[in-house]
Amino acid sequence: MARLLHIEASPRGADSCSARVAGAFLDEYRRRNPGDEVEHLPLFAYDLTAFDAEAAAQKMAHIVRLTRGETGAKPEGKWAAVTAEIDRLKSADKVVISTPMWNFSLPYRLKHYLDVVIQPGLSFYVNRKGEYVGMLRDRPVQLVIASGSAYVPGFPRPDTGTKTDFLEAYLVHVLRWIGCTDIRIIRVQPTAAAPPDEVNAMLAGKLEEARTAAASF
């Protein structure tokens, strides 16, 4: 039995295009893998620990201990909540992240989550050669990214003004940083910059794309 973690970064529920496409993906996944566990982590409805002064101080103490060759900080206070989130992520055999694009980048709740779970000695480490090594290897990650405008690789270009996609590039970068190399992407776009009939037709195609993707996840 495998364990799948769905990280949802939209607050819009059934009105969210990224959530709708992820829902089709997960429905098909459950149909094909009835014995697997699927956990839903809705970031806008979840009380994620604040990475505040206490957590930051504990992180720095953790790093100091690691540089001395010692074990990291004890899981106490805010650091206990941080390590618990990392353990939840590391225990997943498969990960789905569904998110809209906000202001060319991540919704703040998704950035908050990533700032919690990306920690030295817990989700990545530095080896004796000074190389950074991710610790979440051997698991596929399915990204479902929705955006109001259509974005393509190569932004910015002379004919695209200032529109730039920082979202996909950032997510792929940080996922590779922590060891995830099997990263699959479904782009749901444009969700706003098109007539309603065109948006509905695009969504219908993306729902089918999601079901097809789930079959080999």
Predicted model pTM: 0.94
Sheet containing strand 94-100, strands side by side? 37-42, 3-8, 94-100, 141-146, 183-188
Q: What is the pLDDT of residue 119?
A: 97
CA-CA distance, 81 to 89, in Å (whole number)?
13
Q: What is the pLDDT of residue 163?
A: 73
120 secondary structure, DSSP code:
B
Cβ count within 10 A of residue 47: 6
Who's near 146: CB < 8 A, 6+ residues apart? 10, 16, 17, 18, 21, 98, 99, 100, 101, 187, 188, 189, 191
pLDDT in tens, the chain (217 residues): 999 999 999 999 999 999 999 999 999 999 999 999 999 999 999 999 999 999 999 999 999 999 888 888 889 999 999 999 999 999 999 999 999 999 999 999 999 999 999 999 999 999 989 899 999 999 999 999 999 988 876 655 666 566 788 999 999 999 999 999 999 999 999 999 778 999 999 999 999 999 999 999 9
CATH code 3.40.50.150 for 3-214: no
Residue 105: exposure state from Cβ atoms within 10 A (0-12, 13-18, ≥19): middle
35 secondary structure, DSSP code:
T
Q: What is the pLDDT of residue 151?
A: 85
The ranges assigned to domains in the chain are: 3-214
CA-CA distance, 169 to 59, in Å (whole number)?
26
